[in-house]
């Protein structure tokens, strides 16, 4: 009971320090929001509400392949027939030319059917659609435009492809409308393929995981940066404990009624409180300014947010018990945050990365958090489907916390 009160006192003190530290406030709250506004703005430029989303598709197959029939069925012949929100499908007849255009930046990107598409579909093997954009253009703008485009387009395209194939088969009497539903499922599965990379072109697999609700870039951008910045904040909190050690307040705290666990609890709760403020502001900005949709399960979004705060705070405490100087605390904090963020899918969706990266990503809590958010906000999944993510995040929090406790106990100085 007494130690709980001490944890509370330590937490309030941390928040007071936080509030009095303009640099920290700027870094933890204003800076991330500026960041999000900027990137969101850039993406909105690509997928603005007024301009209809255009999906460029090409095929590498020789004439006569299934992809030809698909494209013929999918191509938008008359803009006027498009329903609101439905993307316009443009058939790029020349694959090589399209690639050239991407390289020359005339085209921001396109989707291509592979050479073996028909074969793969006939035999029932998987194949992958490519999403091609110009990776040589290292400017964040172009890359992100490409990524944004790819998220929106591949989702939209997969949907269209799916529907097109089925209607095609039904139309040609190859399929009874009754079994069309089952086939739809199989084709979705077929479209879910791993990505492959080549030197010049980045090839994306398309994934369909449920209905595409909206192509609001904020649904992807905000959670990604939120995860990244919450971890940043936690990493910086690690330096708080080091600072306390250096300016001897830790010693003073330890000679008061607070014990070591209360000190760790205080760092944890202080960090968590800061992150909670951060995340609340993020979501508020996301919903009010960027019209984000919380998906079908806002509760799951909130739970994942909270679990993520627990993981990042525990990570901060663990880091705090491992470093000796304030400088090393902040540099390790920045480095881990900067490596883990892209690795964990904060900057671009993991499902567009190569298989090995997706595998490595699994060791980062970031990946589980962003995956959870993507599922909920981009793919419209429900609560149950993110339970694994929640459990893994909880596991991370427990492991980090235990390491912190063990380390801090053996460390009297």
Partner 1 sequence: MGEAFLAVKDIYKSFNGQKAVNGVSFTIDKGEIFGLLGPNGAGKTTVIRILSTVLAADTGDATVGGYSLRKNPAEVRDLVGVCPQDLALYEDLSALDNLIFFGQLEGLNGREAKAQAMSHLALMGLTERAKGKISKFSGGMKRRINLAIALMGNSKLLFLDEPTVGIDPQSRNNIFETIRGLRDKGMTILYTTHYMEEANRLCDRIAIMDGGKFVAMDTPQGLKRQIGDPDKVTLEDIFLKLTGRSLRD
Which residues of this chain interact with partner 1, rule CB under 8 A?
2, 6, 9, 13, 16-17, 20-21, 247-249, 251-259, 412-413
Q: How far is the CB of 401 from partner 1 (least distance, A)?
A: 23
Q: What is the sign, positive or negative, of the torsion defined by CA atoms of 218, 220, 334, 279?
A: positive
Q: Phi and psi of 180, rounded to 5°? A: -60, -40
Cβ-based neighbour number of residue 93 at 10 Å: 9
Dihedral angle computed from the Cα positions of residues 270, 274, 279 and 281, in that order, rounded to the nearest 10 degrees: 150
Residues 6+ apart with CB under 8 A from 231: 312, 315, 336, 337, 340, 341, 366
Nearer to partner 1, 261 or 358 (CB): 261
| E-state strands within 350-392 | none
Q: How far is the CB of 252 from partner 1 (least distance, A)?
A: 4
Nearer to partner 1, 29 or 262 (CB): 262
Q: How far is the CB of 312 from partner 1 (least distance, A)?
A: 23
Q: How far is the CB of 92 from partner 1 (least distance, A)?
A: 60
Place of tokens 């470093």: 323
Q: How far is the CB of 28 from partner 1 (least distance, A)?
A: 15
User: Which 8-state DSSP code applies to residue 385?
Assistant: G
Nearer to partner 1, 185 or 247 (CB): 247
Place of tokens 């990946």: 367
Nearer to partner 1, 8 or 383 (CB): 8
Nearer to partner 1, 186 or 246 (CB): 246
Nearer to partner 1, 269 or 310 (CB): 269
Q: How far is the CB of 336 from partner 1 (least distance, A)?
A: 26
Place of tokens 């090393």: 328
Which candidate, 195, 81, 90, places its Cα nearest to that of 153? 90
């Amino acid at each position: 009971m007494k130690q709980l009160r001490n944890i509370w006192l330590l937490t309030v003190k941390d928040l007071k320090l936080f509030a009095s530290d303009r640099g920290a406030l700027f870094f933890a709250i204003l800076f991330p929001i500026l960041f999000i506004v900027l990137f969101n703005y850039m993406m909105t430029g690509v997928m603005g509400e007024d301009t209809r989303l255009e999906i460029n598709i090409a095929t590498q197959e020789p004439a006569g392949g299934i992809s030809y029939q698909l494209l013929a069925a999918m191509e938008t012949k008359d803009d006027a027939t498009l329903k609101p929100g439905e993307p316009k499908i443009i058939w790029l007849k020349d694959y090589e030319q399209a690639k050239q255009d991407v390289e020359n930046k005339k085209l921001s990107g396109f989707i291509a059917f592979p050479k073996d598409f028909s074969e793969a579909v006939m035999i029932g093997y998987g194949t992958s659609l490519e999403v091609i954009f110009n990776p040589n253009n290292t400017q964040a703008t172009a890359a992100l435009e490409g990524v944004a485009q790819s998220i929106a387009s591949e989702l939209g395209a997969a949907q269209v492809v799916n529907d097109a194939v089925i209607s095609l088969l039904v139309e040609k009497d190859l399929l009874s409308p009754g079994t069309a539903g089952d086939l739809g499922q199989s084709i979705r599965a077929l479209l879910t393929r791993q990505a492959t990379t080549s030197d010049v072109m980045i090839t994306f697999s398309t994934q369909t995981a449920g209905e595409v609700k909206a192509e609001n870039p904020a649904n992807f951008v905000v959670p990604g940066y939120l995860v990244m910045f919450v971890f940043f904040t936690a990493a910086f909190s690690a330096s708080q404990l080091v600072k306390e050690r250096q300016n001897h307040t830790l010693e003073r705290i330890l000679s008061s009624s607070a014990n070591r666990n209360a000190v760790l609890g205080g760092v944890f709760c202080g960090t968590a409180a800061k992150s909670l403020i951060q995340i609340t502001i993020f979501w508020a900005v996301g919903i009010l300014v960027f019209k984000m949709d919380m998906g079908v399960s806002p509760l799951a979004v909130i739970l994942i947010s909270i679990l993520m705060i627990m993981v990042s705070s525990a990570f901060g405490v663990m880091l705090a018990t491992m470093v000796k100087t304030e400088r090393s605390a902040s540099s390790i904090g920045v480095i881990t945050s900067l490596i883990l963020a892209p690795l964990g899918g904060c900057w671009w969706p993991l499902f567009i990365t190569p298989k090995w990266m997706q595998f490595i990503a699994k060791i980062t809590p970031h990946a589980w958090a962003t995956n959870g958010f993507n599922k909920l906000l981009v793919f419209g999944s429900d609560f149950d489907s993110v339970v694994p993510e929640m459990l893994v995040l909880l596991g991370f929090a427990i492991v980090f916390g235990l390491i912190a406790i063990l380390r801090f106990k053996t460390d009297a100085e």
